Amino acid sequence: MPSEKLAEVLAHVGANVRRRRGRLGLSQQELADAAGISRRTVINLEAGQANVSLSAIDTLAAALGATFVDLVSAPTAIPAGIDEVLWTGSGAHSRATLLGSAPATREAQLWTWSLGVGDRYDANPDPAGWHEMVLVTAGRLRIEREDGDVTLDTGGYAIYSSAQRYSYVNAGDVPAACVRIVLS
């Protein structure tokens, strides 16, 4: 994985930590104490030079009253399209990518879903505030929504409010499958 991509994420984290710390009127030492890390780590992180663990980012986010996603996202990123590599391993194919985020207050449900050729599922709107995250694992899936249709090939994903009429449609000539997360 290109190190410039990780450096870019570290720059986002540093800028977001510095901006949030400033809004809260915290010194670097006060943030370090609240997060249980060294002041030197905060200094280096804000300069985009510290390679911290994912759990350290969670701890910093909590100390800043923010979320993990708030700290790792580019300033222009929308929650439904973050697409940032946040971890790489020693192997060329070892990486973790945060695709997107949606709010949840009550429950998250994890589903596998499949549709045969020519099949569709029509859903009624969920209550206000509900969201879905869909990752296509095989075939081609079209999600027809009131706020605009999207067609996804294998590896494609969508994050959207499910408080609207929507349908899953197999848009290909082979079975389609996806992982679906419902957030309420």
- 85 part of a folded domain: no
Q: Rounded mean pLDDT of 115-139?
A: 93
Same domain, 178 and 118: yes
* Residue-level pLDDT at 2: 44
Tokens 């050729």 — which residue? Answer: 117
Q: Say if residue 10's pLDDT is above 60.
A: yes
Same domain, 69 and 113: no
* Residue-level pLDDT at 133: 95
Same domain, 66 and 12: yes
Q: What is the dihedral of CA 173, 175, 177, 182, to 10 degrees?
A: 90
List 120's β-bridge partners, or say none.
169
How far is Cα 44 from Cα 51, in angstroms, rounded to an integer?
9
Same domain, 128 and 67: no
Q: Tell me which DSSP letter residue 173 carries.
A: S
- 100 part of a folded domain: no
Q: Rounded mean pLDDT of 94-109?
A: 83
Residue at which a domain ends, from 56, 74, 92: 74
- 99 part of a folded domain: no
- The pLDDT-based confidence of 81 (bands split at 50, 70, 90) is confident
Same domain, 13 and 60: yes
How far is Cα 42 from Cα 62, in angstroms, rounded to an integer?
14
* Residue-level pLDDT at 1: 35
Crossing angle of helices 28-35 and 3-24, in 10° steps, is 110
- 179 part of a folded domain: yes
Neighbours of 168 (CB within 10 A): 22
Same domain, 61 and 13: yes
Same domain, 58 and 112: no
CATH number for the domain that contains residue 23: 1.10.260.40
Distance of CA 85 to the CA centre of its chain: 10
Residue at which a domain ends, from 15, 50, 74: 74
CATH number for the domain that contains residue 158: 2.60.120.10
Q: Name the residue type at position 25.
A: G
Total tally of structural domains belonging to the chain: 2
Residue at which a domain ends, from 49, 74, 99: 74
Could you list the residue range(s) of the whole structural domain that residue 172 is in?
108-183
* Residue-level pLDDT at 21: 96
- 120 part of a folded domain: yes
Phi, psi angles (nearest 5°) of residue 121 = -130, 125
